[in-house]
Amino acid sequence: MGILGKLFSSITSEFKKLEPENKRRITLLVSLSGFVPQAVEKDLIAIVESAGTAGDAGHGTILPEIKKKVVTELTLAIISSCRIPDDGPIQYWWDFEGEFLREVVCVLVLAESNDERQVLQDVDYSANPDEARAQALLNISRLLGREGGSLIQRLNCGEFLESWHRCTTMFVQGALTGIGRLSESAVIARTPKHLRALSPRGESIIRELIGRANRGQFSKHRQEAS
């Protein structure tokens, strides 16, 4: 393909030309980067909204731009501290080290959140779920202008803690379970739709990974066969 052909080649057409194992890797990566914010929206954000606006005239609502930042912080804290299984279906969909998956999912989430941070190291959340939760709650308190400690106390409750624990222990395994309910071809067939929805920054990340995959350099962290 000439220079112009490469320039205007769609990301979906590049994806479809990948070898099967690389299609699986890109599919899992894109799936996880979308699954975490969805889990935060479903399981955590309503609790934060209720606690963060308690006593306000607009009880139960947060300004959309602030809400987006809250979702991003919770998402990044979960990615930083979640459990990534080292056996089972993940070996088929992602035959690299789990930490590399964590790093790349974080990079894509940052891109799709239009966050100025670039990589996992910039996020600076602990790998310990309890510590990451405390850090996230502190950041959320600042975003909501509730830095006195009362918001953190309200969120360190059973409902939030239970949802947080579920997200940090099960989100990767839950995504893999969901993927396993469908045929591989059906799962991969959905990926082009997700790729077309990426921001330019997110698309550039996937294009880079596709290029590396085509050169046999998807990762330098490939797990050694036991």
| Structural domain range at position 96 | 20-213
What amino acid occupies position 102?
Answer: R
- Residue matched to tokens 């590049």: 14
Q: Please report whether residue 34 resides in a domain.
A: yes
pLDDT at 224: 38
119 within 8 A of 103, measured Cβ to Cβ: yes
Task: Return the pLDDT at 87.
Answer: 85
Mean pLDDT (the chain, rounded): 87
Domain assignment present for 40:
yes
At 200, list the tokens.
Answer: 């330019």
10 within a domain of the structure (yes/no) = no
97 pLDDT above the threshold of 60: yes
Summarize the confidence of residues 147-157 as an average pLDDT: 80
**Collapsed DSSP state (helix, strand, coil) of residue 96:** strand
Assigned domain for 140 exists: yes
Question: Looking at the predicted structure, is the pLDDT value of residue 219 above 80?
Answer: no
Rounded mean pLDDT of 71-79? 96
Task: Decide if 106 is inside a domain.
Answer: yes
Beta-carbon count within 10 A of 197 CB: 12
96 φ, ψ to 5°? Answer: -125, 175
**CA pair distance 175, 168, nearest whole angstrom:** 12
The answer to whether residue 226 sits within a structural domain is no
The pLDDT-based confidence of 6 (bands split at 50, 70, 90) is very low
pTM of the model: 0.87
- The single-letter DSSP state of residue 222 is B
Residue 76 lies in a domain: yes
Pick the residue with more confidence: 105 or 54? 105
| 66 found inside a domain | yes
Structural domains counted in the chain:
1
Identify the pLDDT of residue 3. 45
Q: What are phi and psi of 139, to 5 degrees?
A: -65, -40
Residue 165 confidence (pLDDT) above 60: yes
Q: Say what the pLDDT of residue 146 is.
A: 81
CB under 8 A, 24+ apart: contacts of 130-135: 131/81, 132/77, 132/78, 132/80, 132/81, 132/168, 133/77, 133/81, 133/161, 133/164, 135/77
Task: Please give the pLDDT value at position 20.
Answer: 95
Selected residue with higher pLDDT from 106 and 158:
106
CA–CA separation, 123 and 168 (whole Å): 16
